[in-house]
Amino acid sequence: MFPEFDDLYCKYCFVYGQDWAPTSGLEEGISQITSKSQDVQQTLIWNFPIDITFKSTNPYGWPQIVISVYGPDIFGNDVVRGYGAVHVPLIPGRHKRTIPMFVPESTSRLQKLTSWFMGRRPEYTDPKLVAHGEGRQVTRVRSQGFVTLLLNVVTKDMKKLGYDTNSLDMRTFSVADLSEGILK
């Protein structure tokens, strides 16, 4: 959802800890360019499947997906329209995550004006920086749009390794259970 922009595409990459290893799928990719829908909502839909499998024996460094959205400026240059990141959900099942996006800002009016004329807006040389906290505290950013991801997560052998991924959200309750006050 980027109300003031059109003809956008996105790039994705994964950031994960040293005990994690991808066993299949692509760690990074790029989508097609999409245009706003013609309805009232004017949504941008990429319909871009991402399929990756990780393995690990340690939950430290649980994978995050980093999204970078790009589009043309008034001069036709591709510029960053937003960065964002979210952890892959811990619990198996279908999940919907809305990621607030942001863009780096110039630190002075002169830099802002110069970058606008040159068509070179501030952007990260490595978008994976978005998933890390260190070094970001000195970056000036501005909120800009949202990206919604639909994720289907499957886990295997978590119980065997001593991790319980069951949650109250995953349980199925009948009407009788609800009337007995199980959910309070």
Residue ranges of alpha helices (H) inside 48-174 are 109-118
- How would you class 183 by CB atoms within 10 Å of its CB: exposed for 0-12, middle for 13-18, buried for 19 or more? exposed
Residue 1 scores a pLDDT above 70: no
Beta-bridge partner residues of 12: 29, 67
If pLDDT is split at 50, 70 and 90, which confidence band does 13 have? very high
Q: What is the pLDDT of residues 86-121, one digit of tens each?
A: 999 988 889 999 999 988 887 777 777 777 666 667
| pTM, 2 dp | 0.79
Tell me the C-alpha to C-alpha distance, in Å, between residue 77 and each of 106, 114, 141, 175.
18, 15, 21, 57
- Please answer whether residues 81 and 103 qualify as being in contact, where contact means their C-beta atoms are separated by less than 8 angstroms: yes
Three-state DSSP class for residue 170: helix
Percent of the chain with pLDDT over 70: 78
Rounded mean pLDDT, 146-174: 72
pLDDT tens-place string over residues 116-139: 666 667 777 788 888 887 766 667
